[in-house]
Structure 1
């Protein structure tokens, strides 16, 4: 009759972390790497979209509808293209850690929001008293929330900063003496920006919850059984 054997896990095997409270817990490298690749793609798409806007404002609109586009608009779009290309190259090829690339991605979101707000100001959107639809910054904020592997707190901070760019531009218009909406109207007009900033934390919460579960699964799979 075979002698029964007692098996136990190796003592040096790390136990799985059962805490759900750590928002800053590191995500699995494979998951973060995938999102950084998406960040590079997003920056490339941003460069294409800004290039499209520049081509429309510099060539198509002046020829087709004889509209003169202010030179500062073209400058903002050109700078936005350059920033997007730099972000793409950094996210795609730089050897820096994923955490630094994520922080750079958050800064990229805020810079894009500032560029959109400047265009709203230069084209008169920030000076009108009646709404003309949502600002493109709502799209910027929500797309960033689906791409960047930032913690919910960092995502909220960056999203609020991005959402504040339009009201800030409107305040600049008001201080310059140009016709502008009242403070109350401005807050109501750009309230969707801040609503999107709050919603932007939801994908981050989901991503980090999935990341914690994946890490636990990896840790459980790392157990080794040995004979006692």
Structure 2
């Protein structure tokens, strides 16, 4: 593989934790070489189904293969399901004539790693969390090219590099935009502001609690 791959397959999805750094890397590759061919492996159900096409990259969906948490019929079906996902990932790698496969974890990464290994296509793994998931633990054993966001992450061949981030974040002048943001969100500089992101699911035992004076 040359130092400037002509075709890259990126694998990851399910949550923004996987998709965001994947897209940040895709943007960086495109800035480095506008002619590089980038394809993304994901599922039809994850956030990548919306975020990847919105960012202008081609998304190839493969079957979602989740590891069963307990011995049941899903465990019996696992070998066949995984084989189908590996074949689907391999078909994309072949069609793209990929020079390298880069995985960020999630359901699609394990099939992508296995398909790439079968074809002797170089693999790169990026782990965003302090505790790596199963997919990246598998991938890290198949390649010496493993990057982590945190120096404390325990993963085979790990090299601490940090988190790929979009230029909208790295280039943000927070001081210059502070007053504009405070006005846009109706916030007061006299009070501390806490930003909470994510999706909350309220179970039957949970209830809304009103803050004093709210």
Q: TM-score if structure 2 supplies the norm length?
A: 0.28
Which structure dedicates a bigger proportion of its chain to strand?
A: 2
Which structure dedicates a bigger proportion of its chain to helix?
A: 1
Larger radius of gyration: 1
Structure scoring higher RCO (CA < 8 A, sep ≥ 6) equals 1
Q: TM-score if structure 1 supplies the norm length?
A: 0.26
